Structure 1
């Protein structure tokens, strides 16, 4: 009877307080999701050979790729080459104007890759990001996101830092989150750009919880100047764990809120040297 009571209590707790039952143990790996990479990390390699670039990605141990078929190659052929190397494509990207103009066309392109997510990484603006820019984005996100959701695709906006212009009691990023429909609009946190724009990645993960569905992992050189342009030189993109970002704290909070996809994005000019170091760092992190 005592054993039965323990089983019943465990079942009840798992439904009410799942974190109490499934809490991570000391020594467990902080990286709880498949190792992913953003295809932009290999921007200097695709033109030299798609298959050879995918071989590098495979050899580094990446299991997920965020991106799409390089110019001149069909989605079907690219998917075939990735699949042969054990690489899936859960997420891809599109331009803001493409989403605004024809979200169904975007949906068809995403489905051709077998992806479930599509992100926009930049919003049109001239100089400072303004409320008018945010309002245009909100309209396109809600309308386009609805079409994508009807096609079984989750739309996400990739935060780039300039959205943290002060507005009201918060920022224009807060304004965008508050005025977009959670059924149709999710978010991808680029942790470096979030920090670069003056925000706290861990605090924002806590604040908006499951509105976040994926991360771009990168680090900023210690002491590098920061602003709200969303732009900085490649020398300021450094190996994970060597810069200003609290990567362990970010991973802990991401695990807590249930983020399933994390993509390293290396924008340095030493990506082939830096990526293996970033991978080793991530794999070294434990609770």
Structure 2
């Protein structure tokens, strides 16, 4: 048992270290480094187990899933089978991208409920809608309609102990009667039901400023996609830290943003191969 005097000395030294070095606080509260598994979409269907082993070996502790279907599950695995492999590799599936287009179109809940059940089996915190079909986002009113549907889906998720999030691309930043689609979604969704996963690459690609979004909507962006932009060809990704996006500056605004989870993603332009690229990104983020 630690003597009371030694305990006081020890805690006093720890307090001094915290006051002397803010980085010490960060090291004690370091966020998990996550990977959006879509990055490895060529490898996963071939061998889920081996791919996830490599993800863990690269330094990741969290993942974001994609690709669930009622018939095929996750790349031929049931949610329970995938959960077992994740657990064996010390990986948490914090969030999942689920295609719920039928619900957004006609409020059919079959796909939505099946996906929510899958997310629950994986013990996910977030149920994330990654895309709006083009025919559903034609004008101001259609974005308001989507926002209303997101609120409805958010209620269903909340009943199951999940949080709903919406992930952006660049099309949401197109003007609709003087406002962007993204502004409409932010305004028309209930803050208690709908969070946002901010894809920082697409924000920058569309010519927008993430710092401005943080200031105007503090706390709304609970998750980020950390995806870098090639310095020569803006339409291409690159390894985080190798491109034109200043992630060091952006991470300093994590508290204002509300960010609690982030996921590395790289869709193309791998330096050697996808596994080497995700490791390079992880190594860079772990240093900043």
Does TM, scored on the shorter chain, surpass 0.5?
yes
Conserved? CA contact 2:60–2:282, under 8 Å:
no
Whether the aligned pair in 2 keeps the contact of 1:189 and 1:215 (CA below 8 Å) is yes
Deviation string 1:167-203 (CA, Å, 9 cap, x unpaired) is 4554221111101111111100010011111211122
- Asked if residue 116 in structure 1 is aligned to residue 125 in structure 2, the reply is yes
Q: Report if aligned partners of 2:222, 2:257 keep a CA contact under 8 Å in 1.
A: no
TM-score (norm 2): 0.81
| Residues 128 and 162, structure 1, Cα contact 8 Å, conserved in 2 | no
Q: Residue by residue, what CA displacement relative to the aligned partner does 1:142-182 show, whole Å, maximum 9, x if unpaired?
A: 11111111211110000111111124554221111101111
Which stretches in structure 1 are left out of the alignment for 5+ residues?
1-20, 226-231
Check if 1:208 corresponds to 2:217: yes
Q: Once structures 1 and 2 are overlaid, which stretch shifts more, 82-91 or 136-145?
A: 136-145
Contact 2:223-2:260 at 8 Å conserved across structures: yes
Deviation at 1:63, TM superposition (A): 0.4
SS of alignment partner, residue 138 of structure 1: helix
Conservation of the 8 A alpha-carbon contact between 1:239 and 1:274: yes
Tell me which of the two structures has the higher relative contact order, counting C-alpha pairs closer than 8 angstroms and 6 or more residues apart. 1
**Larger displacement relative to structure 2 (179-188 or 69-78):** 69-78
Pairing 1:1-287 to 2, within 5 Å after superposition: 24-25=22-23, 32-67=30-65, 70-100=74-104, 101-102=108-109, 103-126=112-135, 129-167=138-176, 170-225=179-234, 232=235, 236-270=236-270, 271-285=274-288
Q: Do the aligned partners of 1:124 and 1:133 also contact (CA within 8 Å) in 2?
A: no
Farther-moved stretch of structure 1 (125-134 vs 109-118): 125-134
Aligned to 1:6: none
Q: In the aligned structure 1, how far is the partner of 2:74 from the partner of 2:175? A: 38
| Secondary structure at 2:262 match in 1 | strand
CA spacing shift, 1:240–1:169, aligned 2, 3 Å: same
Q: SS of the residue aligned with 2:225? A: strand
> Paired residues, what number?
257
Gaps of 5+ in 2: 1-18, 67-72
Question: Which sits farther off after the overlay, 162-171 or 202-211?
Answer: 162-171
SS at match of 2:196: strand
TM-score between both structures, scaled by the size of structure 1: 0.81
